[in-house]
Structure 1
Amino acid sequence: MNAPALHSTFATGRDKLLGHLAMVGFAAFVAGSFSFGAIAAPYLSPAALNAARFAIGTGIMAGVALALAGGRIERPRAVWRYGVLGALMAVFFITMFVALRLTDPVSTGAVFTLMPIASAGFGWLFLGQKPRGVVVASLVLAAFGSLWVIFRGDLSAAANLQVGRGELIFFVGVLCHAAYGPLLRRFNRGETGVVFTLWTVAATGLCIALWGWRDIVSTDWASLSPAAWLSIFYLGIFTTGGTFFLTQYASMRLPAAKVLAYTYLTSGFIILYEGLLGHGWASAGVAAGAGITVLGLLVMALARD
């Protein structure tokens, strides 16, 4: 089934609504990974942590696929598709951690806001999707709100942002992630969402394991604390298997420009979680930036494709 056929098949209002809700869940899961990732970070290298989460994510998705398919998983066809998708996501995760060693989280967060706009460009390149003007305007508005949260409303901090080696490295990863969404729809040949997600997660984990095998072998897995294992399982189940499935589900129902725009909600969910956990609420100015992001996404969601 080709991309145009898929576009017409999944064009119902109900499918679009479910696609939007899937990406809200995506943002909620990703936001939770920051708290859980911070717990596991002191015990594991980035390569070992990501390899573990993808191994667990693959196992969970395999179990779900077996349960839904009556004990038999469909063998992957045209394996190269999963290799491409897995390599793109592996590059994203690897460049993120490499960049964080060279620059600060604020700068990487600012580069991250380029992803939805880049995804819109890849959607046009790979699928012929041309976002309407109101969609582009809402993306810009949501990006502004997200940047406001990242810089905590400090205009001087935004003005002093410098583009260095770390930012450029992560920009490559952002472009890979931006291309991933449109290619999910382009590469799908009628596979179910669970099966397609399973092989994509497995391919991503394999690429990361090949990159960081030294760290994986040298990690003392038996001595990890229960809190670290809890964090790894959260990352593996929700932030890996869950988010990959939700992205695949939404990508089959929404234009590329709209799918990754929901990454802008991540900062708002982090503010909410931190407040509920008793770590303090964000200032009114920062919360206003999150509100602007939500407003921009609402306009985007209601706009015609």
Structure 2
Amino acid sequence: MREHVGMLLWALLVGLSFPVVGLVETLPPLLLTALRFAVACAGLWWLARRSPHFWPAWRALPLYAGMGLCLAGFFSAMFWAAHHATALSMATLYVTVPLLAYVMGLLLGVERRAWRMAAVLLLGAGGALLLALAEAVVQGGALQFGRGEAVFFLGCVASALYPVISKWGLASGRLADSAAVRTFWSLAAGGMLIGALGLAVEPVNGLAAMGIKDALLLVYLGLGSSALTFWLMQRATAALTPGAVTAYSYLVPFVSMLLLFVRTPEAIGWVWLPGSALVMLAIALLASGRAGR
């Protein structure tokens, strides 16, 4: 239950981070993400270094590199697709992440074959999709599939693979038991890859526009939205399956819906009810432990 509560907090933090990201969208996104991960690693350093297994063994390096590549792949695909795909299409594709994690987890032997888990994931995916469609009705948007959507889907595959690699590394004894250590090295690897890509395709002088407000927001995103959220995910991965961990991403559009109601109360309507009900039911079944039976 502790891990489920932690993932509820994860969903809340991720949902609240989207408005903050929008406040610094004028800065180079890849370089900004690399700096965000650097801040996260700095915040995790004091906790991770206390572990006797802080320095990774040689056989763990490929796994951390793979996890870093997953992070770099997802964020790079997301930022590129944001200019070539509609928000509705991206939101629709993102609901596939838990299902992808479940399937890949089955292939690597870290996910249990349980029809109830598959049913709960489909239930949550349906609810999240209905929330995305409701937002499109209220704010406008179009559903399409083109090059941008294809690239973002590959990013979704990378995002789903991150907890699968983590779970497999834990099950095989290759990764450290400490969630802080796993979070630190995966973010460090991902940050270096994203930073290298950002240096290649983005103007470095774009960071010169960063002011004190931007720096404070960066620290918040690094510590609250990156270090804490990925630590919560890694902690939950030790006890839950990849499908169960990623299923909490269905709550993110629910949090975004609540934020929309705060900013625009007139947006409240019955159109949000079906998706909200399905998402809450899926999370309740997941937290109860019935999905894994």
Q: TM-score, normalised by structure 2?
A: 0.88
Amino acid at match of 1:49: L
RMSD: 2.3
Q: 1:124 aligns with which of 106, 114, 126?
A: 106
1:219 lines up with 2:202 in the alignment: no
1:197 lines up with 2:179 in the alignment: no
1:142-182 residue CA offsets vs partner (Å, 9 max, x unmatched): 11111111111768x99x63221111111111111111111
Question: Which deviates the most, 261-270 or 206-215?
Answer: 206-215
Map 1:25-104; keep pairs closer than 5 Å.
25-42=9-26, 44-66=27-49, 68-69=50-51, 74-78=54-58, 79-104=61-86
Amino acid at match of 1:104: T
Q: Report the alpha carbon displacement of residue 289 of structure 1 after superposing the two structures with TM.
A: 1.6
In 2, Cα distance between the equivalents of 1:99 and 1:235?
A: 21
In 1, Cα distance between the equivalents of 2:72 and 2:190?
A: 5
1:301 lines up with 2:281 in the alignment: no
C-alpha contact (below 8 Å) 2:54/2:181 kept by paired residues? yes
* Counterpart secondary structure, 2:134: coil
Question: Corresponding residue for 2:159?
Answer: 177
In 2, Cα distance between the equivalents of 1:131 and 1:279?
A: 43
Amino acid at match of 1:105: A
Structure 1 pair 154/218, CA: closer, same or farther in 2 (3 Å)? closer
In 2, Cα distance between the equivalents of 1:41 and 1:153?
A: 21
Q: Report the alpha carbon displacement of residue 183 of structure 1 after superposing the two structures with TM.
A: 1.0
Question: Corresponding residue for 1:150?
Answer: 132
Question: Corresponding residue for 1:269?
Answer: 255
Amino acid at match of 1:64: L
Gaps of 5+ in 1: 1-16
In 1, Cα distance between the equivalents of 2:187 and 2:95?
A: 24
Question: Corresponding residue for 1:6?
Answer: none
In 2, Cα distance between the equivalents of 1:220 and 1:145?
A: 39
C-alpha contact (below 8 Å) 2:124/2:282 kept by paired residues? yes
Q: Report the alpha carbon displacement of residue 122 of structure 1 after superposing the two structures with TM.
A: 0.9
Q: TM-score, normalised by structure 1?
A: 0.85
* Counterpart secondary structure, 1:151: helix
In 2, Cα distance between the equivalents of 1:259 and 1:202?
A: 22
1:230-255 residue CA offsets vs partner (Å, 9 max, x unmatched): 32122111221111111111111111
Write out the 4+ residue segments of structure 1 that deviate beyond 6 Å after TM superposition: none
1:23 lines up with 2:30 in the alignment: no
Amino acid at match of 1:39: L
1:284 lines up with 2:270 in the alignment: yes
Aligned residues: 282
> What percentage of aligned pairs have identical amino acids?
26
Q: Report the alpha carbon displacement of residue 292 of structure 1 after superposing the two structures with TM.
A: 1.8
1:206 lines up with 2:192 in the alignment: yes
1:92-133 residue CA offsets vs partner (Å, 9 max, x unmatched): 110011111111111111000000001000110112523422
In 1, Cα distance between the equivalents of 2:11 and 2:146?
A: 28
In 1, Cα distance between the equivalents of 2:161 and 2:148?
A: 20
1:242-275 residue CA offsets vs partner (Å, 9 max, x unmatched): 1111111111111122110000000111222343
In 2, Cα distance between the equivalents of 1:153 and 1:46?
A: 25
1:110 lines up with 2:92 in the alignment: yes
In 2, Cα distance between the equivalents of 1:252 and 1:73?
A: 16
Amino acid at match of 2:149: E
C-alpha contact (below 8 Å) 2:120/2:291 kept by paired residues? no
